[in-house]
Amino acid sequence: MGKYRPPPRENPRSGHRPDSWRPENGRYPTSHGGNSSWDPRPRGSSPSRGAVTKTKRERVTNRSTRIHSLRNLLARDALPATVRQEKERELASLLLDQQKDQLAKATKKNLQRYHFVRFVERQKAERTLKKLVKLKESGNFPQTEEYRRKLEKSIHQAQVDVNYTKYAPLGEKYISLFVQDENDRDKHKTQMNRKSYAILTDSQKEELQQVEDDLANIIRNAAGTKPPMWYEVEKYMREDPEKLNALREGKLTMCNKLAKELATVGGKDDAALRNPTAQPIESKPSWLDDDGIIDPKDLDSDDDEEMSDGGFFER
């Protein structure tokens, strides 16, 4: 018998590869210790494109990344006081800008805030009116003419307050009746992350409040003053209460705005021309005086013949 020779092993690096689609031939050679499940590919998922680390410029310019970096930097204990103060200011400024952008995108929340403020103020006005009416009906007050007159005035103002919260034009900025107290300001903190809100300074907190009110078409009123629209509501309550619904829809204020725009854009003459209810304005040439007399300098002279072009109608 001849000497036994084992079959030659296949070199995985060689160019010749058997057909891998056949069942008897696996996709990869099984010469590694007889283990048929050996796979030369690395284990784990391949890195995706989104997992690529950002560049240094992107880390600096990206606001969210910069905020995250500053938080990690301020978490260290060994940091000079001057550097810490500077980084805290930068972090507060970035958080304020980030919150402004988020508020500008939240259009639906702004609309909800607008209606919520009107609803809360209407409840306050209705409670005040109910207390005053109950006091008047009970008679538990000094029976003097001066006090009775003040009570009637307070009831009237409370009635106008209720109607103002109901019938103020929906398409315009809502000027609040009541000054925001400390309880409302404390409730306002929950709209932002408390840790982030605590970093802001007092001026930045007021600026954030102003931005939210502007986006929600709300103007905070000063103490002891009434909005201009409040007196309009009072006037329509006295003259014609049926016009309050038209005031709410903005039909009455729209006519006033249109008249002002017609008077300002293009001057009074152009405004009267665009106004269909106004009297027509007779246009006059520039060479005619205000009193209707023709200036002697503008009369025909011998020089006009020299200026003619010799047309057919001038022969």
pLDDT band at 127 (very low <50, low <70, confident <90, very high): very high
Distance CA 259, CA 264 (A): 9
Instruction: With beta carbons less than 8 A apart as the criterion, state whether 153 and 208 touch.
Output: no
Phi-psi region of 267 (alpha: psi -120 to 50; beta: other; left: phi over 0): left
| Contact (Cβ atoms closer than 8 angstroms) between residue 176 and residue 113 | no
Residue with tokens 């003040």: 150
Domain chopping of the chain, boundaries: 57-103, 108-179+221-274
184 pLDDT above the threshold of 60: no
CA angle centred on 110, ends 109 and 112, rounded to 5°: 60
pTM tops 0.85, yes or no: no
46 pLDDT higher than 70: no
% of the chain with per-residue pLDDT over 70:
51
What is the rounded CA–CA span in Å between residue 115 and residue 117?
Answer: 6
Helix axes 202-215, 81-105, angle to 10 degrees: 10
Amino acid at 64: S
CA gap 155, 135 in Å, rounded: 10
The pair of three-digit structure tokens given for residue 215, joined into one six-digit string: 């986006």
Q: What gap in Å lies between CA 100 and CA 197, rounded to an integer?
A: 13
Single out the residue of 275, 257, 108 nearest to residue 172, CA to CA: 257
Residue 190: predicted pLDDT: 47
Confidence band for 7, pLDDT divided at 50, 70 and 90: confident
| CA–CA distance, 15 with 33 (Å, rounded to integer) | 22
Q: How many CA atoms lie within 13 Å of 204's alpha carbon, on the beta-carbon side?
A: 19
Query: Average pLDDT in the 128-136 region?
Result: 89
For residue 203, what pLDDT is reported? 76
268 token code pair = 């009074």
Q: Decide which of 270 and 46 is more confident.
A: 46
Q: Is the pLDDT of residue 93 over 60?
A: yes
pLDDT at 170: 80
Question: Between these two residues, 254 and 178, which has the higher pLDDT value?
Answer: 178
* 59 Cβ contact list (under 8 Å, min separation 6): 65, 66, 69
Q: Find, among 84, 79, 91, the residue nearest to 201 by Cα.
A: 91
Residue whose token pair is 């002002």:
260
- In single-letter form, the type of residue at position 85 comes to Q
Phi-psi region of 162 (alpha: psi -120 to 50; beta: other; left: phi over 0): alpha
**What is residue 171's DSSP assignment?**
T
**pLDDT for position 311:** 45
Amino acid at the residue 133: V
Residue 247 identity (one-letter amino acid): L
- The whole-number average pLDDT for the span 158-175 is 87
Which range, of 217-221, 223-227, 306-310, averages the lowest pLDDT? 306-310
pLDDT-derived band at 227, boundaries 50, 70, 90: confident
Cα–Cα distance, 141 to 134 (Å, whole number): 11
